[in-house]
Structure 1
Amino acid sequence: MSDRAHPRLPAAGDVVLLNRAASVQFAARPIRFRVIRRDERQTYHGWCWLDGYELDAAGDAVERREVFVQLAGLRRLTPRR
């Protein structure tokens, strides 16, 4: 998200692009994703569970999802706070 070696953890309200770099499940069809929360359960180093909404082209929520992604592969679409 920011620096590939030390990515900033996503927070509620962040909009990120999920594509092949985040997880192979998004290789064919990347999605824009608005984070509701980051799950605190233990995972592999550099990975996390995110709870949020898949967004359509207008930025409206179309489906609530829980996704398992690589932090270094997330691309932030919202400005930094």
Structure 2
Amino acid sequence: MLPRSGDVIHVTRAASVQFAEPILFRVIRVQNWSTYEGWVWLDGYELNSAGNALERRSIFVQVKGLVTAGSRSVSSRHPHDVRSTRAAA
């Protein structure tokens, strides 16, 4: 499954060899560009360890190599997973 806008992911060598030094990345959008199967262009921000944006980037990565900041693989996340930002009433 593709990451969604707002997801924070760890990008490592498993996603692309260019990330021998892992980065934390907040997704702005997933580009709908034709590319190799299993690969995707992501727009977003590279984050520091405190979660602050360092630089806006576009990265080309394998979806199966992405891991959410909560350590769950993005590709194994189920479509029925729901994130609610509403406070409980």
TM-score bucket (shorter structure): 0.7 to 0.9
**What is the TM-score normalised by the length of structure 1?**
0.85
* Bigger relative contact order (CA 8 A; separation at least 6): 1
**What is the TM-score normalised by the length of structure 2?**
0.78
Tell me the equivalent position of 1:19. 12
Alignment size in residue pairs: 73
Structure 1 unaligned runs (5+)? Answer: 1-7
SS at match of 2:15: coil
Offset from partner CA, 1:28-79 (integer Å, 9 cap, x none): x100000000000111000000000000010000000000000000001158
Tell me the equivalent position of 1:4. none
Structure 2 unaligned runs (5+)? Answer: 73-80, 84-89
Q: How large is the Cα RMSD of the aligned pairs?
A: 1.3
Moved over 4 A (4+): none
After TM superposition, the structure 1 = structure 2 runs for residues 29-68 of structure 1, keeping only pairs within 5 Å, are: 29-68=21-60
Work out the CA distance in 2 between the residues paired with 1:43 and 1:10: 16
Structure exhibiting the larger radius of gyration computed from Cα positions: 2
